[in-house]
Amino acid sequence: MRALLLQTEGRLDYHFSRIITKVNLPVIIYIYALLTDDISVSVYVKLSQEYSNVVGAKVSKDMSRTLDL
In tens, the pLDDT along 4-29 reads: 455 677 778 888 899 999 999 999 98
Domain boundaries, the chain: 2-63
CA angle, residues 54, 56, 60, in degrees to nearest 5 = 130
Report the alpha-carbon distance of residue 18 to residue 10 in Å, rounded.
Answer: 12
Q: How many Cα atoms sit within 13 Å of 10 on the Cβ side?
A: 0
Q: What is the pTM of this model?
A: 0.67
Report the alpha-carbon distance of residue 32 to residue 11 in Å, rounded.
Answer: 15
Contacts of 57 (CB under 8 A, 6+ apart): 28, 29, 30, 44, 48, 69
pLDDT of residue 61 exceeding 80, the answer is no
